Structure 1
Amino acid sequence: MTSNPWSAADIEDLRELVARVLEVPASEITEDTHFVDQFNVDSLLELEIAARLEEKYRIEIPAAEITSLTSFGHVRALVDRLRDAESPRAESNT
């Protein structure tokens, strides 16, 4: 169970972020969109997506996880998992 539920606005914001990096309309990014097959995403674009996610959501994506950014669904799941992992640390620092 997640402590950081996604609102429709949050999902759309994430979709827009990914679409900007891929330089495609956000409407082309669905939960099942496979970035490599549909948009020829290479490792540099994966790094760019990761960097933008880290900046926006204040998370740290381990290098081994960057290659898991293969679809919008995977991106959302990774951000969700890392946001949950960061929550206790953020609360203990206050």
Structure 2
Amino acid sequence: MEREHQGCLVGIGMLAVCGVILFVAYKLDIPYLRCTSFLLPALIGPYIGSRYLSTAEQREKNSFSRRTWILLIIGCLALAALLAWLLDGRLW
């Protein structure tokens, strides 16, 4: 039960960081940060679920490696840059 509480707190913290990024993006009118703050929560659920809300057997069997997570984050940031450029015509 302790892992579930820890996972919930980590998830809430990550969503709070995304909220702060979104606030800064709208305040300073930065399309790249706005798109990033929309896309990063899509990675939070799978991360929390695979780390904290699964059994030990499922963690070993279905977990992504550190390299895979890094590639997913880089892909998410690249997609945010592409969306910012397509939707607003600028990154900053």
Q: TM-score higher than 0.5 here?
A: no
The TM-score bracket by the shorter chain reads 0.3 to 0.5
**TM-score when normalising by structure 2:** 0.37
Which of these two proteins has the greater Rg computed from alpha carbons? 2
Task: Give the structure with the higher percent helix.
Answer: 2
